[in-house]
Amino acid sequence: MGGFFGITERRDCLADVFFGVDYHSHLGTRRAGLAVFDTECGLQRSIHNIENAPFRTKFSDVFREMSGTSAIGCISDTDPQPLLVRSKLGTYAICITGIVNNADELIRNYLDTGAHFEVMSGGAVNSTELVAALIGRKESFVEGIRFAHAVIEGTASILILLSDGSLIAARDRFGRLPVHVGKSEDGRAVSFESFAYQKLGFEDEAELGPGEIVRVTPDGIEQLSPPGKEKRVCAFLWSYYGYPTSTYEGVSVEAMRYRNGRIMAKNDRAAGFSCPVDYIGGVPDSGTPHAIGYANESGVPFARAFIKYTPTWSRSFTPPMQEERERIAKMKQIPVHELIQGQDLLFVDDSIVRGTQLKETVEFLYENGAKSVHMRSACPPIMYGCKFLNFSRATSDLELIARRVILELEGEEGFEHIDEYSRQDTERGRKLRKTICEKMHFASLEFQTLDGVVKAIGLPEEELCTYCWNGKE
- Range 219-248, binding a copy of itself (CB under 8 A): 243-245, 247
CB of 127 to a copy of itself, least distance (A): 13
Site track 164-203 with a copy of itself (rule: CB under 8 A), x = hit: -------------------------------x---x----
* CB of 368 closer than 8 Å to CB of 361: no
Length of the chain: 473
Contact between 107 and a copy of itself (CB under 8 A)?
yes
List the interface residues with a copy of itself, window 20-59 (CB under 8 A).
22-23, 25-26, 41-45, 52-57, 59
Nearer to a copy of itself, 272 or 319 (CB): 319
The answer to whether the beta carbons of residues 48 and 32 sit under 8 Å apart is yes
Max CA separation in the chain (angstroms): 70
Which letter does DSSP use for residue 461 in this model?
Answer: G
| Alpha helical stretches, state H, 126-274 | 127-135, 141-151, 194-198, 236, 253-270
Nearest to 277 by CA among 85, 35, 443: 443
Nearer to a copy of itself, 217 or 252 (CB): 252
Q: Does 388 bind a copy of itself (CB under 8 A)?
A: no
Alpha helices in 136-222 (DSSP H): 141-151, 194-198
Nearer to a copy of itself, 314 or 426 (CB): 314
Beta bridge partners of 155: 99
Asked whether position 163 contacts a copy of itself by CB under 8 A, the answer is yes
Task: In angstroms, give the least distance from the CB of 305 to a copy of itself.
Answer: 9
Cα-flanking dihedrals φ and ψ of residue 158, to 5°? -130, 135
Q: Is 84 in the site for a copy of itself (CB under 8 A)?
A: yes
**CA triplet 221, 226, 231: central angle to 5 degrees?**
115
- Which residue lies nearer to a copy of itself by CB, 122 or 272? 122
| Contact of 290 with 411, CB cutoff 8 Å | no
**Binder to a copy of itself among 132, 148, 152, 382 (CB under 8 A)?**
132
For residue 183, give the 3-state DSSP assignment.
Answer: strand
Which residues in the 287-346 window bind a copy of itself by CB under 8 A?
Answer: 289, 292, 295-296, 299, 301-304, 306-307, 309-312, 314-315, 317-321, 324, 331, 334-339
Which burial class, exposed, middle or buried, applies to 253 when counting CB atoms under 10 A from its CB (0-12, 13-18, 19+)? buried
The residue (of 195 and 236) whose beta carbon lies closer to a copy of itself is: 195
Alpha carbon of residue 338 to chain centroid: 34
Distances (CA, A) of 282 to 265, 289, 325, 358, 364: 13, 7, 25, 12, 15
* Binding to a copy of itself, residues 430-469 (CB under 8 A): none
Residues 397-426 that bind a copy of itself (CB under 8 A): none
Which is nearer to a copy of itself, 116 or 229 (by Cβ)? 116
Q: Using the rule CB under 8 A, which residue among 255, 407, 437, 454 binds a copy of itself?
A: 255
The one segment of 164-172, 206-214, 250-258, 353-361 that binds a copy of itself by CB under 8 A = 250-258
